[in-house]
Amino acid sequence: MGSSTKVGINGNYDYSFKILLIGDSGVGKSSILLSFISNSLHDLSPTIGVDFKIKLLSVGGKRLKLTIWDTAGQERFGTVISSYYRGAHGIILVYDVTRRETFTNLSNTWAKEVELYSTNQECVKILVGNKVDKDKERAVTREEGIALAQEHESLFLECSAKTRENVQQCFKDLVLKILEVPSLLENGSTVVKRQTMKQKQVHHSSRGSGCCLN
């Protein structure tokens, strides 16, 4: 699963999916995203509000555009980011395996927000325990993670943004599951059709303007 050079940014893809990264501040959401998007990792300051990145790739013969939203974990941004749950096809719930409170907050806070604000009822969720490179400091067992994922009907994976272990796999598992859900496929293709229509309208308008374009 890698980005495809044949996939064009201007609508030359089959599906467009919106992915959210959520969880407490400091669990490594931005590091996971950077590890997936690029080939380099560097020190990251906490995300303020919301940031997003676009990843183009081919999976199972389908060309995909992923718009991945990295939401700030601070509670004061909770009401601000609620609108970003709207239309999400996949949600990655991240906790730090060395900080137990980040794990319990997935149930106490984040899973409740997903249930409250998510507009796609069949939205695919994956529970991700980050920082397994710090196994000696582990405060949450793998078995506990699996149990919580089953409770919330989510996929499950442990990873390390630092060593890149399972980061690519996390997104691959999520996307493959989304591709199995007919309602999400229909929604994702509708976005592509809408964007294509807009591009055609802009192109037609530009041609009609002739020499009067500035």
Query: Does 36 fall in a domain?
Result: yes
Mean pLDDT of 181-190: 88
Mean pLDDT of 129-140: 96
Report the pLDDT value the prediction gives residue 200, as an integer from 0 to 100: 53
Between residues 197 and 41, the one the model is more confident about: 197
Q: What radius of gyration do the chain's Cα atoms show?
A: 18
- Collapsed DSSP state (helix, strand, coil) of residue 73: coil
What CATH number is attached to the domain comprising 112?
A: 3.40.50.300
Mean pLDDT of 108-131: 92
Query: Does 131 fall in a domain?
Result: yes
| Predicted confidence (pLDDT) per residue in 156-166, tens digit | 999 999 999 99
| Predicted confidence (pLDDT) per residue in 13-36, tens digit | 899 999 999 999 899 998 999 889
165: closest CA among 43, 42, 23, 31? 31
Query: Does 212 fall in a domain?
Result: no
Query: Does 22 fall in a domain?
Result: yes
Query: Does 165 fall in a domain?
Result: yes
Report the pLDDT value the prediction gives residue 100, as an integer from 0 to 100: 97
Confidence of residue 199 (pLDDT cuts 50, 70, 90): low
Report the pLDDT value the prediction gives residue 180, as an integer from 0 to 100: 94
Query: Does 44 fall in a domain?
Result: yes
Query: What whole-number percentage of the chain has pLDDT above 90?
Result: 49
Query: What 8-state DSSP symbol labels residue 140?
Result: S
Range of the domain at 164: 15-188
In the chain, what are the helix, strand and coil shares in percent, each to the nearest 5? Answer: 45, 20, 30
Query: Does 1 fall in a domain?
Result: no
Whether residue 170 contacts residue 157, with contact meaning beta carbons closer than 8 Å, is answered with: yes
Number of domain units in the chain: 1
Query: Does 42 fall in a domain?
Result: yes
CA 15 from centre of chain: 15
How high is the mean pLDDT of the chain? 80
Report the amino acid identity of residue 133. Answer: D
Whether residue 94 contacts residue 45, with contact meaning beta carbons closer than 8 Å, is answered with: no
The structure tokens listed for 76 are 């004061």
| Cα dihedral across residues 126, 96, 130, 147: positive or negative | negative
Confidence of residue 2 (pLDDT cuts 50, 70, 90): very low
Confidence of residue 12 (pLDDT cuts 50, 70, 90): confident
Report the pLDDT value the prediction gives residue 71, as an integer from 0 to 100: 72
